Copies of this chain bind each other. A is one copy, B any other.
Amino acid sequence: MTDFAAIDHYLEQHLDESIAELSRLVAQPSVGAQNWGLEECASLVAEMLHRRGFTVQVLPSGGAPIVYGERRGRSDKTLLIYNHYDVQPPEPLELWDSPPFEPQVRDGKLYGRGVSDDKGQFTARLHAIDALLALDGELPCTIKFIVEGEEETSSEHLFAFVENHQELLKADACLWEFGGVDHREIPMQYLGLRGICYVELWVETAKTDAHSGLGGSIFPNAAWRLVWALNSLKGSDERIRIPGFYEDVRPPSPRDIELMSALPEVAEEYKQRYGVKTFLKGLTGGVELQLAEVFEPTCTICGLTSGYQGPGSKTVLPARASAKVDFRLVPDQRPERVLELLRAHLDAEGFSDVHITDLGGEPPARTDPDHPFVDLVVRTAEPVYGAPMQIVPMVGGSGPNYPFVHTLKLPVVTAGAGYPGTLAHAPNENIRLDLYLKHARHMTRILKEFGGE
């Protein structure tokens, strides 16, 4: 019978040390988009694992190196843990209350770029490992860490890396990089991620802008071409018009609907937070809104650019126009298929002049909500949080979980120290120290039970 009182005592006693270690990691900038500090941060991650007796390899990926660490445990079970050491750019700097790479504790929170996404999740897990090693001398199961450096820039090289290192990464289950509580302080089990296909559509109708008084009625206008091409993709009924787009869409199962029905109402919160007055397609709330949010694929214009955008008027006929468009995909859609269908559709509609630049894609992937490992992680949360985790079968965002689910064939579950005010990707990113400790406590229980203890 495990003495969790002693473990929890250890975690509390050594929390300051763990936060100091996290602070060192955060103080090492590792901004993927700016190619800043990635190698140095990978070395620091490797050193942290090595110090705990992990066999560590810093492996080339084609981009930022991937840190792999392995330490064998008592049982024959193996848990693969996925984290990433790269962070979002810190800009705009003037909106930070303390410098992003000089972490600072205020009001029970640690502030800094990457404290929550994802460095704090990683060190909270190390903290749990420290407690188990300190009290037991060994781990209850084998742990394999894969810590990549390109998560914030679409994990360009991770898919091939997993494909090429299946034996190395062999495991029985996978713990994902993030997790946390919702606004009620209930821990949430986020199970699936939608896929994404992000493109830039652009048109160039001339080599230079013209005066609108001259060309308005005789020159092709790049902005008009773009508007018409976009309009061909989706109408105000929200139906995506690309032939074949919906072919691979699998609707939510009765179990999905049951799980989604149990989730708290979001309509009012969305209206307040975003100032949205009504939802699309006549939705007003309830499970219908929740299902629409994650189980339907989307086509979102993320940005539009053309011609004159300053104050007042300028009579210009633009030679170039472009749009950023993001398709969120649900099982079993695939980004490469969407690219093909999009090209074929634009050509068929007479928009061969509209070019597509592929800005990255990830397929959707889901874990069965009734997998025993999901149940294990959900149950072991209860003694820590006062409630078991609540299962969210799929979320609206995207991530590189596909190769873990489909190549390695692992259940991928979430647990972490996040909360709704964590401000990942924004100024004043922070992590709550109480939730940091809770995640470490939860981790010790996951590892113990997974190891059969």
Q: For A318, what are the chain B residues with a Cβ–Cβ distance below 8 Å?
A: 301-304
Residues 354-392 (chain A) with a chain B CB within 8 angstroms: 359-360
Contact B313 A360, beta carbon cutoff 8 Å: yes
Chain A 194-233 near chain B by CB (<8 Å), digits 1 or 0: 1010100000011110111111111111011011101100
Q: For A33, what are the chain B residues with a Cβ–Cβ distance below 8 Å?
A: 312
Q: For A313, what are the chain B residues with a Cβ–Cβ distance below 8 Å?
A: 154, 198, 302, 324, 326, 359-360
Among the stretches A21-29, A73-81, A242-250, A277-285, the one at the interface with B is A277-285
A98 contacts B by Cβ under 8 Å: no
Contact B301 A305, beta carbon cutoff 8 Å: no
Chain A 389-410 near chain B by CB (<8 Å), digits 1 or 0: 0000001111000000000000
Contact B274 A218, beta carbon cutoff 8 Å: no
Contact B328 A303, beta carbon cutoff 8 Å: no
Q: For A309, what are the chain B residues with a Cβ–Cβ distance below 8 Å?
A: 303-305, 324
A92 contacts B by Cβ under 8 Å: no
Q: For A223, what are the chain B residues with a Cβ–Cβ distance below 8 Å?
A: 301-304, 323
Contact A228 B221, beta carbon cutoff 8 Å: no
- The listed residue with most B CB atoms (<10 A of its CB), out of A219, A238, A323, A324, is A324
Task: Pick the contact of A292: B217, B296, B301 (CB < 8 A).
Answer: B217
Residues 246-291 (chain A) with a chain B CB within 8 angstroms: 270, 273-276, 278-281, 283, 289
28 pairs, CB–CB < 8 Å, chain A vs chain B: A194-B213, A198-B313, A206-B276, A208-B274, A212-B300, A212-B302, A212-B328, A215-B270, A215-B274, A216-B396, A217-B280, A217-B296, A217-B297, A217-B298, A218-B281, A218-B293, A223-B304, A227-B230, A227-B231, A231-B231, A300-B317, A302-B314, A303-B314, A304-B305, A304-B318, A308-B324, A312-B359, A315-B398
